[in-house]
Amino acid sequence: MRSDRRRWVLAAASIPLVGAGRAHAQAAAVVPQALPVERLAAERLGEGADTQPLRKPVPSTGELLPVVGLGTARRYDEASPVLRETLERFAGAGGRVVDTAPSYGRAEAVVGEIVEAAGLRDRLFLATKVGADGRQAGRAQIEQSFRRLRTTRIDLIAVHNLRDVDTQLKTLRELKGEGRIRYVGITTSFDSQYADFERVMRSERLDFIQVDYALDNRAAGERILPLALERGMAAMINLPFGRGRLFRAVQGKALPEWAADIGCTTWAQLFLKYIVSHEAVVCAIPGTAKPEYALDNAAAARGPMPDAAERRRMERYVDAL
Ligand SMILES: NC(=O)c1ccc[n+]([C@@H]2O[C@H](COP(=O)([O-])OP(=O)(O)OC[C@H]3O[C@@H](n4cnc5c(N)ncnc54)[C@H](OP(=O)(O)O)[C@@H]3O)[C@@H](O)[C@H]2O)c1
């Protein structure tokens, strides 16, 4: 395939699979309208175009991000050789987005130490959070994050679970204006917060929203994800495996035959492809603390993606468990 055409296809593959929100209008500017994007992208991706992971645009800038990232909520207690290898393999497989937070124990410091030692800063998109009450406490926590992550620029800071959201968003905008952070967002993993979350999404200009969503936890798909599309906000997905719940649900079960249709060889890939094939989702951040998990999860960003009918079939399968 000629390189120009291949670039278009990869760009095509970065367009969310169906519909035409603002994000699509921006991305569509990149791709000739004639292309039957869904099927073509899936077919092309199936035909050995999988040297590159699938990437999707951040609506507010058009920056392309690989759809499978990495979360550090657990097991990032010390900068061990295993964690270093996990991050190196993740980056080596084309992964970029690393999500962390001040409340994840020593995770920020561990990520900062490994990224510096392995020379990975330029290849990664570092995302952290602010979870504090009051302007001063928020500022102090963010300055600590810069020190721990050993960087002068953080890609994304999000208000953790909407804590003192108005105060902290004001601070984040100032830092964005100063060029110390590139993106501003909010996070939650509690459906009890969804109503407030929606209110903030409707009243604020945000680059990213982070919310829980999984094949067996689809509530965010009802209002939050459609609203993210409508408002041109990139959706980042936490708890994609329900912190292991999905693996327990399929324990001892062989993958269904149709998993091969969408290029899945493991349950992790199947669970992740369901999430990243949602048109509002820019990336999923599975918690990953093992090199083999990093490679397994990265594989979900390659090969064909499920279309709408295949997503329905996945839902029916898991609902019948
Ligand atoms: N409100 C918020 O802002 C919020 C809330 C929750 C999470 N988060 C973010 O989202 C990230 C993801 O959530 P999470 O880590 O809590 O849960 P998760 O991603 O749903 O599940 C992570 C667990 O899945 C297992 N796993 C990962 N890859 C696997 C693979 N390929 N095969 C088999 N098992 C695999 C690992 O279990 P073992 O380690 O036990 O092997 C891992 O601990 C967090 O790390 C954090 O960055 C944000």
At residue 294, the pLDDT reads 97
At residue 194, the pLDDT reads 98
At residue 47, the pLDDT reads 45
Bridge partners, 99 (sequence order): 71, 127
- Global pTM reads 0.88
pLDDT in tens, 31-86: 444 444 444 444 444 444 456 899 999 999 999 999 999 999 999 999 999 999 99
Q: Is the CB of 269 under 6 A from ligand 1?
A: no
Bridge partners, 66 (sequence order): 55
Top pLDDT among 263 and 15 is at 263
Mean pLDDT of 233-241: 98
Ligand 1 atom 9 nearest Cα: 238
Query: Among 109, 207, 208, which Cα is nearest to 151's?
Result: 109
| pLDDT for 30 beyond 70 | no
Ligand 1: residue of 149, 188, 243, 273 to mutate (most ligand atoms within 8 A of CB) is 243
- Place 7 in a pLDDT band, splitting at 50, 70 and 90: very low
At residue 40, the pLDDT reads 44
**C-alpha span between 292 and 297 (Å, rounded):** 9
At residue 51, the pLDDT reads 65
Cα 42–chain centre separation? 20
Q: Is the CB of 293 under 6 A from ligand 1?
A: yes
Q: Is the CB of 285 under 6 A from ligand 1?
A: yes
Per DSSP, 251 falls in state: T
Q: Identify the residue whose tokens are 């495996």.
A: 241
**C-alpha span between 94 and 65 (Å, rounded):** 10
CA 206 to centroid of ligand 1, rounded, Å: 24
At residue 50, the pLDDT reads 53
| pLDDT for 222 beyond 90 | yes
| DSSP output for 110-147 | HHHHHHHHHT-GGG-EEEEEE--SSHHHHHHHHHHHHH
At residue 196, the pLDDT reads 98
pLDDT in tens, 81-140: 999 999 999 999 999 999 999 999 999 999 999 999 999 999 999 999 999 999 999 999
| pLDDT for 203 beyond 50 | yes
Dihedral, CA atoms, 19, 159, 216, 86, nearest 10 degrees?
100
Q: Is the CB of 247 under 6 A from ligand 1?
A: yes
Ligand 1: residue of 288, 290, 292, 296 to mutate (most ligand atoms within 8 A of CB) is 288
| DSSP output for 145-205 | HHHHTT-S-EEEEEEGGGTTHHHHHHHHHHHHHTTSEEEEEEE---GGGHHHHHHHHHHS-
pLDDT in tens, 257-311: 999 999 999 999 999 999 999 999 999 999 999 999 999 999 999 999 999 999 9
Burial class (CB in 10 A: 0-12, 13-18, 19+), 235: buried
Q: Identify the residue whose tokens are 């679970």.
A: 161
CA 58 to centroid of ligand 1, rounded, Å: 23
Report the sign of the C-alpha dihedral through residues 141, 144, 150, 153, in that order. Answer: positive
CA 70 to centroid of ligand 1, rounded, Å: 8
Mean pLDDT of 161-170: 98
CA 287 to centroid of ligand 1, rounded, Å: 3
Q: Which atom of ligand 1 is nearest to the CA of 161?
A: 1
Q: Is the CB of 241 under 6 A from ligand 1?
A: yes
| pLDDT for 23 beyond 80 | no
Q: How many CB atoms lie within 10 A of CB 8?
A: 18
